[in-house]
Amino acid sequence: MPEDELTTLLETGPIELVGRVVESSNATFVVQVGTGDDAVMAVYKPERGERPLWDFDPGLYKRERAAYVLSDHLGWNLVPLTVVRDDAPAGVGSVQLFVDGDHREHYFTLYESRPDLHDAMRRMALFDCVANNTDRKSGHVLLGPDDQLYGIDHGLCFAADFKLRTVIWDFGGEDIASADLDAIEPLAESVPQALSDLLTGDEVAALQSRVRRLLTTRVLPVDRTGRRIPWPMV
């Protein structure tokens, strides 16, 4: 269905719990949104199910939404459509369109088998630098049925302190594509209101600082410490 109709469905459609993702560190549910032929599957992450963290305030669901807003603003389509629902079964949380791909595939397998996706992976690496992703595991990179690469699980993004941890280091030191630099350049001066409303002032300022650094270096970073990798890696 058209994206505006899909957005309306995720924002307003009735939600039915289908199951729980048991291996997730926070409460994560598979849900059906809508009824009949218009129903879609989605992933629901309620604030009530978030594990307390010392370095992130409660409300990780806002960062899930913020990652989608950033991806959408850049026109990159890297994050599945994500909305915030106040009326969900366990209270306020993020509701993200389910990626119905082959979940045996992930970044490491796709890097080896699909070199045609390497440019999309480079863009995802850049996205994670801008968003300051602290948790880009291999399993957080999915190939959708539309043969589009998607990133999921962005609750640990946008911290003011530099916290980048990712498995996507294969392109470190490479030049950033000119089109991608052009896309992020406006963020150095102005962050869209829909994004800044989900973050603190310090986090917005830090995002702009990261963008300015990328515009200066014009290359994807290299992990010279060997420690900026999430665990588990998959």
Instruction: Confirm if 152 and 135 have CB atoms less than 8 A apart.
Output: no
Q: What is the DSSP string of 206-231?
A: HHHHHHHHHHHH-B----SSS----S
Distance between CA atoms of 154 and 124, rounded to whole angstroms?
12
Binning pLDDT at 50, 70 and 90, where does residue 109 land?
Answer: very high
Binning pLDDT at 50, 70 and 90, where does residue 23 land?
Answer: confident
Instruction: Confirm if 19 and 32 have CB atoms less than 8 A apart.
Output: no
The CB density around residue 29, as the number of other CB atoms within 10 Å, is: 22
Binning pLDDT at 50, 70 and 90, where does residue 24 land?
Answer: confident
- Encode pLDDT of 48-93 as tens digits: 999 999 999 999 999 999 999 999 999 999 999 999 999 999 999 9
Distance between CA atoms of 132 and 152, rounded to whole angstroms?
14
Task: Name residues whose C-beta falls within 8 Å of residue 121's C-beta, 6 or more positions apart in sequence.
Answer: 107, 110, 111, 141, 149, 168, 170, 171
pLDDT given at position 159: 98
pLDDT given at position 103: 84
- Encode pLDDT of 176-214 as tens digits: 999 999 999 999 999 999 999 999 999 999 999 999 999
Task: Name residues whose C-beta falls within 8 Å of residue 174's C-beta, 6 or more positions apart in sequence.
Answer: 122, 219, 220
pLDDT given at position 101: 86
CATH pick for 3-217 out of 3.40.50, 2.60.40, 1.10.510, 1.20.140: 1.10.510
